[in-house]
Structure 1
Amino acid sequence: MAAAIRAEGDRIADLLDAGQRWWDTGWADWRPDPSWPVPRLPAGWDSVPC
């Protein structure tokens, strides 16, 4: 498995070295449907437990 992970990293590095992107550029323009409700954070989300 380690060899497969290294090979994928090498593949991505080769793409970047060639000036290509390895990700789908369509995600950069994605926006959620305006009719979707805005999620609410639960109470205490910003507190760090001791």
Structure 2
Amino acid sequence: MGKSTGKGDSARIQSAAAKNPDSKTARDGFDRRAQSAADKNAHRQSRTHR
């Protein structure tokens, strides 16, 4: 299984998209999907580490 997207990963992706709004990453919404995945993974981790 692959590595889960974390908050740091999401921040790097969003930063890259903001620096180059014409990039494929920015145009196809990957930055928003990465943020959503990071939020879901953080929530999932908080539920399993109670």
When normalised by structure 2's length, the TM-score is 0.37
Larger proportion of helix? 2
> Which one has a bigger Cα radius of gyration?
1
Q: Which has the higher contact order (CA 8 A, sep 6+)?
A: 2
